[in-house]
Amino acid sequence: MRDVAVVGVGMTKFGEVWEKSLRDLFVEAALAAIDDAGVDHVDYMTVGCMTSGLFVGQEHLASLMADYLGQKHLGACRVESACASGGLAFRTAFTEIASGMSDIVLAGGVEKMTDISGDGATYALAAAADQEYEVFHGATFPGLYALMAVAHMEKYGTTREMLSAVSVKNHNNGSMNPYAQYPFKVTREQVESSVMVASPLRILDCSPITDGGAAVILTTVDIAKKLGKPFIRVIGSGVATDAIALHSRDDLTTLKATKVAAEKAFKMAGKTIKDVDFAEVHDCFTIAEIVVSESLGLFEPGKAGEAVLKGETGLDGSFPINTSGGLKSKGHPVGATGVAQIIELVKQLRGEAENGRQLKTDPRIGMTQNMGGSGGSTLVHILEVG
């Protein structure tokens, strides 16, 4: 297997972007990544997108995006794993290079979520759950994560205050991210007086509906060295699934797909969680960050909430989580999120994170955890300074 590195990153500002279409968002991010890498071509492209079919009536993104990138005959591939589509695009690009099939690959993610009217976005996102056994009966994602939150509170005594602390921390980080949809701080009081969505989750516990694109350029370590620019090695990649429906899981308070994907990535990297300096994880809801942190083995089950409260996962904490602002503050264009997580890792590992959110600990190894639906699929990646 060939060694693979990330040599360029680029993304659009996340937000409610009325003046740009699905293709515009992808191409803007892709060109920024190509510029950053300084490559003069790519051999292959992967496009992560959850459901452009339901959002804007468009599939066949391999063709569309290669075309609009001005690369009509490029080999390309669209992948989907609900909200983990971006992570899957990254893994598929990694494998394409590791196998020797291609040398330089663009891994991009995109979603245009705000063109759909009425409750269309809720219907489209619900396609990540079990249509026949969950959605048909009225379940939506805030409801499913609310079930997890209630179960976690019941089993471990996780509190409202702990959920709020996740939102406050991530908005604090995101306030320093020029690409964030909501780059402002929130207080505990604001979180706890925000409108209720699905008890106990309030609107400031939820990641937003977002338009955005993100892209990275991967290549072999050999080519990366020749480019003469800083590069970041991909040392671990893990993917796993779980029952798509929450009612079929063994336990609501842990995410088994995250556990298994992390085990695979750690095994491949020859590392443990103790070797990792920081992480970007999938905080689609505040409770998700807590459950994910525990499922990754970072904290004992039931202990993550307390750790957030104590600031252990803050910018100056022992294990910073979501320095980018996470999905909560940065925004969550579902197909782009997994790639945007990689971008934050690369920026932190290069020492280039903007506006004072750069970690002062000289981080060497970071990891991403990107999940689909209520945790039915998960991608974990581990990156190390080259």
CB neighbour class for 191 (10 Å; exposed up to 12, middle 13-18, buried from 19) = buried
Stretch that binds its own copies, among 89-97, 138-146, 168-176, 292-300 (CB under 8 A): 89-97
Based on the shown chain and the rule CB under 8 A, indicate whether residue 321 belongs to the binding site for its own copies: no
Based on the shown chain and the rule CB under 8 A, indicate whether residue 78 belongs to the binding site for its own copies: yes
Based on the shown chain and the rule CB under 8 A, indicate whether residue 100 belongs to the binding site for its own copies: yes
CB of 14 to its own copies, least distance (A): 21
CB neighbour class for 218 (10 Å; exposed up to 12, middle 13-18, buried from 19) = buried
Give whichever of 40 and 132 is closer to its own copies, judged by the CB atom.
132
Give whichever of 156 and 285 is closer to its own copies, judged by the CB atom.
285
CB of 2 to its own copies, least distance (A): 8
- What does 309-333 look like in DSSP terms, one character per residue? HTTTTSTTSSS-B-TT-HHHHH---
Among 98, 150, 273, 309, binds its own copies (CB under 8 A): 98
Distance CA 199, CA 231 (A): 44
Minimal CA–CA distance to 203: which of 174, 163, 175, 176?
163
Distance CA 2, CA 177 (A): 34
Based on the shown chain and the rule CB under 8 A, indicate whether residue 218 belongs to the binding site for its own copies: no
Minimal CA–CA distance to 181: which of 362, 370, 25?
25
Minimal CA–CA distance to 255: which of 376, 82, 159?
376
Minimal CA–CA distance to 177: which of 329, 348, 32?
329
Joined tokens for residue 344? 């934050």
In single-letter form, the type of residue at position 11 comes to M
Contacts for 100 with CB less than 8 Å, ≥ 6 apart: 2
Distance CA 157, CA 253 (A): 12
Give whichever of 200 and 376 is closer to its own copies, judged by the CB atom.
376
Give whichever of 122 and 318 is closer to its own copies, judged by the CB atom.
122
Q: At what angle do helices 61-68 and 22-37 cross, to 10 degrees?
A: 60
CB of 57 to its own copies, least distance (A): 5
Stretch that binds its own copies, among 12-20, 88-96, 149-157, 269-277 (CB under 8 A): 88-96
CB of 26 to its own copies, least distance (A): 13
Joined tokens for residue 288? 């998700």
Stretch that binds its own copies, among 11-19, 57-65, 210-218, 359-367 (CB under 8 A): 57-65
What does the per-residue mask of binding to its own copies show for 228-267, with x meaning CB under 8 A?
---------xxxxxxxxx--x-------xx--xx--x---
Among 7, 30, 34, 126, binds its own copies (CB under 8 A): 126
Give whichever of 41 and 73 is closer to its own copies, judged by the CB atom.
73
Stretch that binds its own copies, among 8-16, 96-104, 196-204, 296-304 (CB under 8 A): 96-104
Assess whether 83 carries a catalytic annotation: yes
Q: What is the CA radius of gyration of the chain?
A: 19
Assess whether 49 carries a catalytic annotation: no
Identified catalytic residue from 49, 83, 206, 284: 83
From the CB of residue 135, how many other CB atoms can be counted at a distance below 10 Å? 18
Give whichever of 50 and 340 is closer to its own copies, judged by the CB atom.
50
Among 12, 39, 81, 220, binds its own copies (CB under 8 A): 81
In single-letter form, the type of residue at position 67 comes to D
CB neighbour class for 53 (10 Å; exposed up to 12, middle 13-18, buried from 19) = middle
Using CB under 8 A, list all residues that contact its own copies: 1, 21, 44, 50-54, 56-64, 66-67, 71-82, 88, 91-92, 95-96, 98-101, 123-124, 126-132, 135, 237-245, 248, 256-257, 260-261, 264, 372-373, 376-377
Task: Give the active site residues.
Answer: 83, 332
